[in-house]
Structure 1
Amino acid sequence: MFFMEIIKVIYDEAGGMRFFTSLVTSGSLTACARKLQTSPATISRHLSRLESRIGTQLILRNTRHFGLSENGRIYYERALEILAAIDGLEEEISSNMHIARGVIGIGAPVELGRRVIAPFLEGFSAENPDLLVNLALASEGFYDTSDSLDVVLRLGVPDSPDAIVTRLASTVRVLCASPEYLAKRLPPISPGDLLKHDCLCLRRNKTMELMNRWLIGNTIKTEIITVEPRLSSTHAEIIHDWALSGQGIAYKLLSDVYQDLEQGRLVRIFPDLQGEKIDLYAVLPNKKYTQASVRAFLKDIKPFIKGSGFF
């Protein structure tokens, strides 16, 4: 009985720490209430009980200010360390049992996520029935630590200095168009002929920067062709759809179009040449412990994607 009481106290303390760290990262009582799907009054009562139990004010708050007291800062930093240790212990035990369990959140660019990651997760979920899998998709695969994801798949070098980064595979950009488009227009003979064709270009989200400088070549010679697009979009899948419907030539990742090339819906232009090489990275938050579920995901995703336009 005494041992069970001790366990209950430990879990109560951990619950208080999790509540407090969630409150601090949310930035306000109202934001925390939205995150936990409760009311600001309930959050305020939880905070008051926690401060009463500890015997000190943790949050300095009024109508204009919400910030940590000095004791609150100490409590927050130590709580993060303790919770990481608790999570690490639980994950280590789970890992030793070779069971991925709990919840895993995965982020990916939209087109990669739909065409490659989502099909992979169907089998991965079936092989790990104790694991709940969440897939979040963003236009360029950009997320931050507030997105509550355990691993983010990113095309191109990540710019998160504190993150744990693993390169999974590489792909290349290729020029492609539909058979219908090439039946209407003389196929380009050299890269310079692209200037005479209808081109489909991607734009950077938010900045609308036009990505119209297409590198094409081989190990001996490469050149950059600056095209003027007939159609452009910030969404990679729209570029893909336009290419399929015969609207022009697209400069696409091989991992996005490999099935269409294999099945003849698209034709690769200059098959002996290729565009820039793009690496696929797995980006993990800077945590001391890596979840068993994340380790299982990374182990299984590598061989799967090698047959999906990656090498």
Structure 2
Amino acid sequence: MAIANATEYHRRIAAPIPKSMISTEDLHFFITLASALSLADAARKLDVTPPAVTQRLRLLENRLGMRLIDRSGRRMVLTDEGELLAVHARRICDDIGNLSDTLASRRGTVAGHLRVIAPLGFGQRYVAPVIAQFRALYPEVSASLMLSDRPARISDDMWDLMVHIGELRDSSLVSRRLAPNRRILCAAPSYLARRGEPKHPEELLTHDCIALRENDEDVTMWRFTPRDQGTPANVRIEPMLTSNDGGTVRDWALAGLGIISRSEWDVAEHLHAGRLVPLLEAWTQPDADIVALINSRHGRSLRAQRFLDLLHASTLQQPWLPGDSEQSRSGKRAQGSGAAGSTARASAG
């Protein structure tokens, strides 16, 4: 009897999977698709071509015998069945991930897949090397790093840990401060030789300003607070140049095209070398501290906690500072918040 039961058991587990069944890979695929704005957006997130996404979706729909997404309009819309699948897919994948994490934690193993999101420039320069170091320490961990100029807009299904720079609008998010970071108003010596140095925030009205467009912030309002506790000043600039890439904005300033307000992590070495000059040092701008946001559903795993510890240890040292000299310290003093609006004109120059 035991032999018969064993034979039946092996016959069942060796049987082909019914065509109507879906795999965890299908579930992860559809979760990504459901959180995307379009098939092209989903293709970017999955790192495949849009036709590949369309083909895989068609195969999944054929296997299930139902439409999951209405693609008749410009934007894709989930059908009722698609909504149902997305809800259950997220729950199932969460449960599988939590189970894997629990089992790995019980045996003291750091394993599984780590998903990190970070701003473009900072992520390339300071997060990517830490992920490489983490992989060397924990070879059973796989990792993905998504670099985005608008990380705050990415669905929480896509990440375990997110690096954020600047003010946190959602106070309910679990966060850990990684490093202090100041905003610095600066320009190249060549620009200052041509246009002169502003002595008061209001004088920015007559200067060429360069703005970084990130997330949904009002990047044209520059806020200043005097260090002597005087009257704050807000200046509404009309930027001569804008970009969603901080490196581009910095390079324009280095080329002498205008004045920027940038994070010290991005400009400290250039200030130290004299390629950029700090301006309005009697004023401060709001700090833009670097923090790690921890996903309440996915960020509690042992691998996420260990990575966070490693990232914190790395960034706390502020590796962007070129040294401990007083010259480098003075070049990274920032600027703070304010009130008293104006409109700054930024012409070409």
Cα distance in 2, alignment partners of residues 35 and 147 from structure 1: 22
> Are the equivalent residues in 1 in contact too, given 2:204–2:237 (CA < 8 A)?
no
Amino acid at match of 1:224: A
Q: Secondary structure at the match of 2:185?
A: strand
Q: Secondary structure at the match of 2:136?
A: helix
Q: 1:67 aligns with which of 80, 104, 108?
A: 80
Residue 59 of structure 2 is matched in structure 1 by 42
Amino acid at match of 1:127: L
Cα distance in 2, alignment partners of residues 258 and 63 from structure 1: 48
Residue 51 of structure 1 is matched in structure 2 by none
Cα distance in 1, alignment partners of residues 70 and 206 from structure 2: 64
Query: Does residue 1:303 correspond to 2:332, yes or no?
Result: no
Cα distance in 2, alignment partners of residues 279 and 91 from structure 1: 30
> Are the equivalent residues in 2 in contact too, given 1:172–1:253 (CA < 8 A)?
yes
Residue 224 of structure 1 is matched in structure 2 by 233
TM, length-normalised to structure 2:
0.65
Query: Does residue 1:84 correspond to 2:94, yes or no?
Result: yes
Q: 1:256 aligns with which of 262, 266, 271?
A: 266
Cα distance in 1, alignment partners of residues 69 and 126 from structure 2: 47
- After superposition, the Cα gap between the structure-2 partners of 1:26 and 1:186, relative to the gap in structure 1 and judged at 3 Å, is closer
> Are the equivalent residues in 1 in contact too, given 2:156–2:295 (CA < 8 A)?
no
Residue 162 of structure 2 is matched in structure 1 by 152
Give me the CA root mean square deviation: 4.4
Amino acid at match of 1:129: P
TM, length-normalised to structure 1:
0.71
Residue 117 of structure 1 is matched in structure 2 by 127
Structure 1, gaps ≥5 residues long = 49-57
Q: 2:220 aligns with which of 211, 217, 241?
A: 211
- After superposition, the Cα gap between the structure-2 partners of 1:133 and 1:309, relative to the gap in structure 1 and judged at 3 Å, is same
Cα distance in 1, alignment partners of residues 305 and 23 from structure 2: 29
Deviations 1:81-139 (A, max 9, x none): 55434322322333455543333222122222233323433433333333333222222
Amino acid at match of 1:131: V
Cα distance in 2, alignment partners of residues 78 and 19 from structure 1: 12
What are the within-5 Å matches in structure 2 for residues 66-215 of structure 1? 66-68=79-81, 73=84, 80-81=90-91, 83-97=93-107, 99-145=109-155, 148-158=158-168, 164-203=174-213, 210-215=219-224
What are the within-5 Å matches in structure 2 for residues 20-35 of structure 1? 20=27, 22-23=29-30, 26-27=33-34
Q: How many residues align?
A: 294
More strand by share: 1
Query: Does residue 1:294 correspond to 2:311, yes or no?
Result: no
Q: Secondary structure at the match of 1:116?
A: helix
> Are the equivalent residues in 2 in contact too, given 1:217–1:275 (CA < 8 A)?
no
Cα distance in 2, alignment partners of residues 118 and 288 from structure 1: 20
The Cα shift of 1:288 comes to 6.3
Cα distance in 2, alignment partners of residues 189 and 76 from structure 1: 56
Structure 1 vs Structure 2: percent identity of aligned residues? Answer: 22
